[in-house]
Amino acid sequence: MVPRRNYLIHPQYIILALVIAGITALFLGFTGATLYNRLQQGVPPVRLPSLFFINSLFIIGTSLMLVRAQRAYEQDDTQKFRSNVWIALLLTIGFLTMQIFAWQQMQAANTGLTSSTMASYMYLISGLHFLHLVGGIPFLAVFIYNMHLRMRDPVTVLMYFTDPDRKRTLHMLAIYWHFLDGLWLYLVAFFLLNYLI
């Protein structure tokens, strides 16, 4: 058996940190460009669709479910752990579905993709956030699949709850979702302040 290495910081956390840093730079660049174009060209801001605010509740709920899943994991509570992870996935899918309706709401208000520079930026930025959530779903889905595959009886459940790799994966998923949660709230606040000021 190959001995397990003890890392000060596991390489997977370093990769996740680099991914988050890259995404942060991307969105700061786009929001900075949005503000610059608005001030330089004097383009009026775009009104946020009401569904953006409802979507905020979906994504906050996802983060809360992952926090509860981590607590259930620490307490070896199989039922709560499973249900919270599943709810997190369903809330994420709910967010993505509502986001499509939010874009339709913008279209209905005559705010199309090419109606103005600010509208284009709003579609681009919210679309990029959408894609980053879509990119995280396979990792969460694989985690859920492995959870059901490996937790079949009391012995395998015990092994699952004592496996540091599973705990680390759950922690990394939670970090990624918390980050996307915070990023969405930042974007909503950014576009709302642009509209109000």
Instruction: Please give the domain boundaries of the chain with CATH numbers for all domains.
Output: 11-196 (1.20.120.80)
The share of the chain scoring above pLDDT 70, in percent, equals: 96
CA distance 18 to 99: 27
Give pLDDT tens digits for 120-149: 999 999 999 999 999 999 999 999 999 988
The share of the chain scoring above pLDDT 90, in percent, equals: 64
Give pLDDT tens digits for 28-74: 999 999 988 888 887 787 888 889 999 999 999 999 999 999 999 99
pTM of the prediction? 0.90
Task: Specify the higher pLDDT residue, 155 or 98.
Answer: 98
**DSSP string computed for 149-190:** HH-SSHHHHHHHHT-HHHHHHHHHHHHHHHHHHHHHHHHHHH
CA distance 163 to 157: 10
